[in-house]
Structure 1
Amino acid sequence: MPRESGSPRVDAESDFLRARRQQVLSGLAARVRGATDDVVQSMSFDEVVAALGRRGEHYAGTRVIPLDAIVGSVDKVKDFDRRFRPTSTRSRERWERLARASRKGEEIPPIEVYQVGDYYFVRDGHHRVSVAHSLDVKLIEAKVTVVETLLTPVGVGARAELELKHWRRLMLERVPFTGEARAAVAVDHPVQYGEIAENVEAWAARRMHAEGEYMDKGTMARRWYEEEYCPVVELIEEAGVRGSTERPTEAYLRVACERYTLIRDHDWSAEIMEQVGKGKGRRRP
């Protein structure tokens, strides 16, 4: 806890001014580094859950949770930064009242949070979290509601990561990969998830036309991965045409596009891969 003057009122005022100063300096430092606002701004619960897809929720009771695991808010994203320092003086009186109570050892009611994976988002108790941070508290009592999501809630520290999760979720709704395929089919650019879905659906349409049988989404995802993706990725590796920084799926999308642009063909073979690797192809009329 920061040094005490002996007066809870004076100390609470100092606590608030220190928190505001740190928030301003942190924001200035982020601008100097060229960082985007979402690096320092509190995360939005609604944005995170929308990106991951909400399956359900359940109340988990009252727990003691790590203060540093609280990363965002339900409805006060602009009022506090990522470290829950106040971004204005609007609620100074309320903040200092809670700080005085905390310094005097008065009982503070639990906060209320949503838990998404290892992350927590404040429903009620933003000022209590902010004061706890200013007093270097490590743990806080909270009433926890766990939210289950369609995608695993990891790697959602910035809006760019949320956008990637959002498009991956949409892709998985169209092409429900499971198991090994779900883990393998991954890219680093949001728009490419749409390209994957289009490729899979187009492949399935050609197969259904050729075979004269309907293919449901689950079958489509499984067969495309086994019959198209894995053999082609193997061909790409053997031909040595995957870039050093490319993921296998990114290489698949690029090579598939180059193949059709050059050769106007949907088939795969060592000969075709060689032509793609050389950047030359036979054009069909």
Structure 2
Amino acid sequence: MTRPTGFPRADAEHDFLRARRGQVLSRLSTWLRREPDDVNIMLPFHEVVDALGYAGESRIGPRVITLDSIVGTVDRSRDFDRRFRPTSGRVRERWERLALAARRGEAIPPIEVYRVGELHFIIDGHHRVSVAHAHGLSTIEAQITVVRTKLNPTGIRYRGDLIVKDYRRLFLERVPLTGHARASVIMSDPWDYAQLGEHVEAWGFRLMQDEGRFTDRAKLAQRWFDEEFTPVTGMLRQADLVGDRTDAEAYLWVAAERYRLIRTHRWDDDVIEALRSRRH
């Protein structure tokens, strides 16, 4: 908060103008650095939950939360940027009224948020959060509803991150890995999850044909991880074929190359050597 002049109303007006100026300068800086368009956009709550998969919710009541943990909103993404600076003069009247109340030391009611992992999304209280940021505060009181999701929200920073989460959720519905296996299969490119899902399903189909009996998705997923993914990625590491990829990315690459170059589904030393000689 800037030093008060002794005229709270004038100070509140200056607070708003300073916040607007900061938002405009941030947009200009983003454009000059050629950063992605979503770097200053709040995360939409419903898109996040859809990407992660809704699993339930519970209300835990009032808590003090950090302002930096508030990254998104339910329905007001156009009025404020990622740092809750006003994006236009449309919110000015209410914003300055709250800033004036804060400068006079009046009681401000808690905001309402959804909590997803360590992230918070505003249901009600956008102006209060914006004013708190402008006044240099680091925390705010909030009424919290915890939303549980099928996927861990760790790694979400920008809207573009939701694509990876969404494709991973769909992959895990097709290939329901659990525990260590689930954590071990990671892709950077969301499209790779779709390709890997098709590959695992094809592997499972061939397995059921060979054994002459039906196996459900959960058991097939675990068998693929134990009998195919783990030994193959072990061979790839020994053959120095992983590089800067994740194990899953390396597996998908060599599985596709194996069939394209050698027309086989088997794995042995001859296959690995053929792939090694063609990797460049």
TM-score, with length taken from structure 1: 0.96
Alignment partners' CA distance in 1, 2:67 and 2:186: 32
- Does the Cα contact within 8 Å between 1:117 and 1:153 map onto a contact in 2? yes
Counterpart residue type for residue 265 of structure 2: H
2:91 maps to 1:72: no
2:188 aligns with 188
Write the deviation string for residues 49-74 of structure 1: whole angstroms up to 9, x where unpaired. 11111101000101111111111111
C-alpha displacement at 1:109, in angstroms? 1.0
Alignment partners' CA distance in 2, 1:190 and 1:210: 31
Alignment partners' CA distance in 2, 1:102 and 1:206: 67
1:235 aligns with 235
- Does the Cα contact within 8 Å between 1:164 and 1:190 map onto a contact in 2? yes
Counterpart residue type for residue 77 of structure 1: S
Q: Secondary structure at 1:155's aligned position in 2? A: coil
Write the mapping of 1:1-285 to structure 2, written as runs, cut at 5 A.
1-242=1-242, 244-279=243-278
- Does the Cα contact within 8 Å between 1:262 and 1:279 map onto a contact in 2? no
Q: Which runs of 5+ in 2 are unaligned?
A: none
- Does the Cα contact within 8 Å between 1:23 and 1:86 map onto a contact in 2? yes
C-alpha displacement at 1:91, in angstroms? 1.4
Write the deviation string for residues 142-196 of structure 1: whole angstroms up to 9, x where unpaired. 1100000111111110122111111101100111111111111111110111111
Counterpart residue type for residue 19 of structure 1: A
Q: Which runs of 5+ in 1 are unaligned?
A: 281-285
Counterpart residue type for residue 41 of structure 1: I
Counterpart residue type for residue 104 of structure 1: R
Alignment partners' CA distance in 2, 1:204 and 1:134: 56
The structure 1 segments of at least 4 consecutive aligned residues displaced by more than 3 Å after TM superposition are: none
Alignment partners' CA distance in 2, 1:139 and 1:230: 45
RMSD: 1.1
Alignment partners' CA distance in 1, 2:160 and 2:152: 16
TM-score, with length taken from structure 2: 0.97
Percentage of matched positions with identical amino acids: 53
C-alpha displacement at 1:241, in angstroms? 2.2
C-alpha displacement at 1:274, in angstroms? 1.1
- Does the Cα contact within 8 Å between 1:98 and 1:131 map onto a contact in 2? yes
Compare 232-241 and 139-148 and name the one that shifted more: 232-241
